[in-house]
Amino acid sequence: MTNNDLIERISAAADITKKDAKTALETVFAAIREAAAKGEETSISGFGKFVVRSRPERTGRNPQTGEEMTIPAGRKLAYTPAKAVKDSLAGA
């Protein structure tokens, strides 16, 4: 599913224009992005949580040369699905 598919569904379900649906979708994504940049958790009831997790510095290998290299520490955005989402996947 793409952003355009989501926009069409939002537009139809809320009986609003595609332009307004696009604005709504972009606003939701921007809010999640801003919270993640601050290191905050975003919880969407019935859907799941977006959490920023820290990754420590570690040693890895260059797959082309086999040479060891240090992978710097960083942060990543992780998604944990809500029970309702997990249950819907089990039935699929």
CATH, residue 83 = 4.10.520.10
DSSP string, 33-75: HHHHHTT--EEETTTEEEEEEEE--EEEE-TTT--EEEEPPEE
Residue 38 phi/psi, 5-degree rounding, is: -85, -5
Mean pLDDT of the chain: 95
- Which domain, by its residues, includes 92? 41-60+69-92
For residue 69, the cross-strand partners are: 60
52 shares a domain with 12 = no
83 shares a domain with 46 = yes
Count of domains observed in the chain = 2
| Residue that the structure tokens 């975003």 belong to | 42
Q: What is the pLDDT of residues 29-88, one digit of tens each?
A: 999 999 999 999 999 999 999 999 999 999 999 999 999 999 999 999 999 999 999 999
Residue 68, judged by CB atoms within 10 A of its CB (0-12, 13-18, 19+), counts as exposed
Q: What's the pTM value of the predicted model, to 2 decimals?
A: 0.78
